[in-house]
Amino acid sequence: MREKSDRLFYNVDWLLVGIFLALVVMGWFNIYSAVYDEQKSDIFNWTRLESKQMIFAVTSIVLAFSILVIDATFFTATAFYLYAGVLLLNLIVAFAGAEIKGSRSWFKFGGFSLQPAEFAKWATALALAKFMSGLAKPNMKQAMGIAIGIIALPVLIIILLQRETGVALVFAAMVIVLYREGLVPGWLLLIGLISVLAMVVGIKYHEAIAFLVLIFAGLAALRILMLRKKTFKQILISAIAVLYLGGLMFVSSKVIEKMPEHQTGRIKVWLGLDVDRATEDRFGYNTKQSLIAIGSGGLAGKGYLDGTQTKFRFVPEQETDFIFCTVGEEWGFYGSAFVVLLYSMLIVRIILRSERQRSDFTRIYGYAVASIFLFHLMVNVGMTIGILPVIGIPLPFFSYGGSSLISFTVLLFIFVKLDSQRLLILR
């Protein structure tokens, strides 16, 4: 046993490594196509994005294998320090970083830039795993406040100080971790889901709110009449539910108007609300162009480097947030469904491996990793195909950018390493 486990890549889940490599390589080829220019494309011209992304890709692959070399106890031991360090970086960037489009989240070094908010994802996952795995089981419920605090701290810094809402939203995905660990009951998630639906309905049909509330109230009254024998408590709960949902609808329809203009615009366009032409052009343009690009790919796509919508820059941000358009246009339904399948395999594999851990730390960390990937996949692809409003977050391994590629690599490979040592870690 000992001798075997001493070997460098002992017990590594090669399926995860394989999916990772496939995504990185496909991602790079896709970036190459997205910025393709017959005259200018050049893998070794360091001012061009495809070359830069190649450096990032090579760096991240090297980094991935470096993490496999480090002993997993390093991450369990230094989790809080890494968390603190990353938070500090995020604080510094909020004051000393370069201002881009009203947000301060980037450090600039010559031709390269760094976004510490990306690092907060794995740092927070580590800290959460460390804290929660250290708790004795009965105390878990009481510790919920602290767990939420660990998640909320980077969110607050990123939203309030750096003004980068998109990146911060991903921390909401951690609710899955809390759910799995029993800190959040299922009914609460259900209420959350219904609340989000109520808000969407409220925004979309704000004229009809009163009507809906009446229907709810009517249904509740009907139920009370049918169950006449039941107690006052049930009447009270029904009344509260009606008031809560109605109130939520009303409030959300008002709040939407008070939100920053671009958020209001994106949400309204997404919900298909009546907006003037200028608003539609400004906030609906990305989604429209993205749908045209993906939709025009058809079943089998237009062929590599032959996409017209992406190559001729109809789709904005196509090498970063809207990179999935290139997949959809050039590889068609086959290609885009394959990419979705690959991500789903990655996520499900991580969940299943997490469940096999003896160590709480690895399981909690694994769930955090799966949640983050899931959130990115759903939100990023969802916005390109018009399911969700436009939220500026990258598609892991596909979107252009060193910070995100490197942090997703770190995020994934810490798990791969922890998982490979599952037989040694007993906590």
Partner 1 sequence: MNPQDRKYFVVGFVVLAALLYTARLFYVQVVEDKYKLSASNQAFLYQTDYPPRGAIFDRNGKLLVFNQVAYDLMVVPRDMEGCDTTGLCAILNITKDEMLKRLARLSGSVEDASRDYRSHIFESQMLPELNARLQERMYKFNGFYVQSRTVRKYTYPIAAHLLGYVGEVNDAECAANPYYKSGDYIGKSGIEKGYEEYLRGKKGFQIKMRDVHNNIKGSYQNGKYDSAAVEGKDLVATLDADLQLYGEQLMQNKIGGLCAIEPATGEILALITSPTYDPNLFVGRDFSKNYVMLVKDSIGRPLFNRALMSSYPPGSTFKLMNALIGLQEGVLTPATMYPCAHGYPPLGGKPKCHPHGSPTNLYGSIATSCNSYYSYVFKSILDNRKYKSQEEGYKAWRQFVLSFGVGMEIGTDLPYENKGNVPTPEYYDKVFGKGRWKSITLTGAGLGIGQAELGVTPVQMCNIICTIANRGYYHVPHCIKTIEGDSSFVQRWTKRHYTMVTSTAAYEAVIEGMAQVMTNGTGRAVQIPGIEMCGKTGTAQNPHGDDHSVFVLFAPRVNPKIAIAVLVENAGYGAAYAAPIASLMVEKYLTGKVERKDMEQRMLESDLIHKTAGTQKKVSH
Q: Is 332 near partner 1 (CB under 8 A)?
A: yes
> Contact 408/380 with Cβ under 8 angstroms?
no
By CB under 8 A, is residue 63 in contact with partner 1?
A: no
Can you give the C-alpha Rg of the chain in angstroms?
24
Distance between first and last Cα of the chain: 19
Region from 44-52, 240-248, 331-339, 405-413 binding partner 1, contact rule CB under 8 A = 331-339
Q: Count residues contacting partner 1 (CB under 8 A)? A: 43
3-state helix/strand/coil string of 138-170: HHCCCCHHHHHHHHHHHHHHHHHHCCCHHHHHH
Are 266 and 283 in contact by the 8 Å Cβ rule? The answer is yes
User: Which amino acid, 380?
Assistant: N
Q: Does 308 bind partner 1 (CB under 8 A)?
A: yes
Position 299 contacts partner 1 (CB under 8 A) = yes
Number of Cβ within a 10 Å radius of residue 358: 13
Residue of 218, 337, 358, 427 interacting with partner 1 (CB under 8 A): 337
Contact (Cβ atoms closer than 8 angstroms) between residue 391 and residue 379:
yes
Of the candidate residues 202, 246, 284, 297, the single one contacting partner 1 (CB under 8 A):
297
Residue 185 CA to residue 178 CA, distance in Å, equals 9
DSSP string, 244-287: HHHHHHHHHHHHHHHS-HHHHHHHHHHTT----HHHHHHHHHHH
Q: Give the whole-angstrom CA distance, residue 128 versus residue 364.
A: 8
325 binds partner 1 (CB under 8 A): no
Nearest-CA neighbor of 36 among 302, 335, 341, 382? 302
Does 387 contact partner 1 by CB under 8 A? yes
Contact between 179 and partner 1 (CB under 8 A)? Answer: yes
Among 34, 201, 374, 391, binds partner 1 (CB under 8 A): 374
Q: How far apart are CA 45 and CA 40, in angstroms?
A: 9
Contacting residue, 238, 336, 362, 409, with partner 1 by CB under 8 A: 336
**130 is a contact residue toward partner 1 (CB under 8 A):** no
193 Cβ contact partners less than 8 Å away, ≥ 6 residues apart: none
Q: Which is nearer to partner 1, 194 or 340 (CB)?
A: 340
Is residue 390 a contact residue for partner 1 (CB under 8 A)?
no
With binding defined as CB under 8 A, does residue 391 bind partner 1? no
Element (H, E) at 212: helix 209-226
What part of residues 186-245 is at the interface with partner 1 (CB under 8 A)? Answer: 186
Choose, by CB under 8 A, the member of 153, 212, 385, 425 that binds partner 1: 385
By the rule CB under 8 A, 40 interacts with partner 1? no
42, 298, 358, 427: which one binds partner 1 (CB under 8 A): 298
User: 305's torsion region: left (phi>0), alpha (psi -120 to 50) or beta?
Assistant: left
What token pair was written down for 54? Answer: 């190649």
Closer to partner 1 by CB, 243 or 387: give it. 387
23 sits near partner 1 (criterion: CB under 8 A): no
CB closer to partner 1, 54 vs 189: 189
Least distance to partner 1, CB of residue 292, Å: 5
Q: How far apart are CA 59 and CA 407, in angstroms?
A: 11
Give, as ranges, the residues between 340 and 369 that touch partner 1 (CB under 8 A): 340-341, 343-344, 347-348, 351-352, 355, 367
Q: How far is the CB of 374 from partner 1 (least distance, A)?
A: 6
Please report how close the Cβ of residue 321 comes to partner 1 at its closest, in angstroms.
17
One of 63, 169, 241, 292 touching partner 1 (CB under 8 A): 292
User: Per CB under 8 A, which region of 165-173, 174-182, 211-219, 232-240 contacts partner 1?
Assistant: 174-182
- Alpha-carbon separation of residue 154 from 158, 164, 366 (angstroms): 6, 11, 19
Which alpha helices (DSSP H) does 70-180 contain, by range? 73-96, 116-133, 144-156, 165-169, 175-180
Closest approach, Cβ 246 to partner 1, in A, equals: 28
Q: Does 279 bind partner 1 (CB under 8 A)?
A: no
- The one among 265, 284, 386, 392 contacting partner 1 by CB under 8 A: 386
The residues of the shown chain that bind partner 1, judged by CB under 8 A, are 176, 179-182, 186, 291-299, 308-309, 312-314, 328, 332-333, 336-337, 340-341, 343-344, 347-348, 351-352, 355, 367, 370, 374, 378, 381-382, 385-387
